[in-house]
Amino acid sequence: MNRIAPTALYQEVAERLRQRIFAHELNPGTWIDEQKLAEQYGISRTPLREALKVLASEGLVELKPRRGCYVTEISRQDLDDIFPLMAMLEGRCVSEAIGRAKSADIARLKKIHEQLESAARDGRIDAFFEANQEFHRQIQLLSGNRWLLTVIQDLRKVLKLSRLHSLSLEGRLQQSLDEHRIIMGALEAGDTAKAEKAMHDHLLSGREALAKMQDSPAKS
């Protein structure tokens, strides 16, 4: 592993650990070996501990007194708590986005939606996932509400701790695409109420898909 230059700030350490957590190189529940990481990165434990404080503030790790630091484990209850919040917040986002959207913005969203159509048609789940992430991100940016954006981004970081991928559930890819078609149609029509409800329902539908995966006896 590449050593971090002495001049690097703790933010760089936090970002490296963040990406390892998202990639599940550091699995949920894993104890963070500070000494080992400090040696790997060629840094003292001070910037490492500052980095862990940053990740703790994002909900990605837990600092337990006298026990050390652990990667956060996301529970069924966590998902039940987070998804309704996401549904409410992202519904508000698309509502505000419509109020600010210009024709070029709608065209950009439509282009991303076409990528979703193509990925779904070919059964390319990873490509669909990436286009889906970009579609939501563009709507969040278009809302122009930095507070909404910050809260949504923090919640999405926590959701990345889940190993489950709802698009892997049979039928979910097409269902998600159908939901996106409704959202896109409402965006093009400038129908705020319809777009907000469609986005809200889309997020809750994603939670339902995850619940089915959790309840499946074949889940890993």
Q: What does the pLDDT read at residue 219?
A: 45
C-alpha span between 128 and 130 (Å, rounded): 6
Domains detected in the chain: 10-71 (1.10.10.10), 76-215 (1.20.120.530)
pLDDT in tens, 9-19: 688 999 999 99
Burial bucket for residue 57 (CB in 10 Å: 0-12, 13-18, 19+): exposed
pTM: 0.80
Q: What does the pLDDT read at residue 53?
A: 93
What is the separation of C-alpha 164 from the centre of its chain, rounded to a whole number of angstroms? Answer: 12
pLDDT in tens, 18-56: 999 988 899 889 999 999 999 998 888 889 999 999 999
- Buried b / exposed e over 142-154, threshold 16 CB at 10 Å, is bbebeebbeebee
State the pLDDT confidence band at 164, using cuts at 50, 70 and 90.
low
